[in-house]
Amino acid sequence: MKRVFAVRHLAFEDLGSIAALHEARGCGVVYLDAGVDDLSPRLEPDDALIVLGGPIGAYEDDRYPFLTEELRLIERALKQQSPALGICLGAQLLARALGARVYPGPGREIGIAPVELTPDGQVSCLKHLAPDYRVFHWHGDTFDLPDGAVRLASTAMTPNQAFARGNSVLGLQFHVEAEARQIERWLIGHTCELGIAGLDVAALREGLRQYLPDVERNGRSAIAEWLETAAR
């Protein structure tokens, strides 16, 4: 990979802990701020695209017209088989670009909780989430599994927690990039959502302090393997 284009929807939901993985590979990182920057850069086949999270719906084109341009960017990356990673909202947009339906889920999943890996997931890069398979959830929407994709992980509430299509496309509903040292930014930035969800911020913070360092390390290992495989 020469460059990594990272589409960012919130300043504090950036590449976080996985930024160093790209730097170690000698990749230049280019942030594209959705709704502000031009989302039509020229992508070379050996460039990678990472679409990050955010609090909007992947189907809210009427409220956020830039989503149309963002979907075109994802479609271009998919067409030329560039490595493409979607995280949370990014996974939902990736699923939509692949023709799947995205819609509100039955409830919010926020905090540290385990996922269950499918047989495909157990031999994927997500095996690095072992031994307890805890991840950092922060989402309310979900999506159908895209045609040609394989399901890698599920929860009781959200059957499609992770999917892959070939070696180059990976969608994750959960966050592998969130850094433990920066988590207060999330609690401040999403205070309205936490209030609506009726969550106890102190209890959420305690759970994150206890488990997020291990979750962060395991997630970074998973993405390191995916990058190695996707770059071949």
Active-site residues, by number, are 88, 175, 177
Beta-bridged to residue 172, according to DSSP, are 87, 162
Q: Rounded CA gap, 37 and 46, in Å?
A: 22
Residue 88 C-beta-side C-alpha neighbours within 13 Å: 27
Segments in the chain forming alpha helices (H): 19-24, 66-79, 89-97, 119-122, 183-189, 191-197, 201-230
Beta-bridged to residue 138, according to DSSP, are 110
Q: Which two tokens stand for residue 98?
A: 């692949």
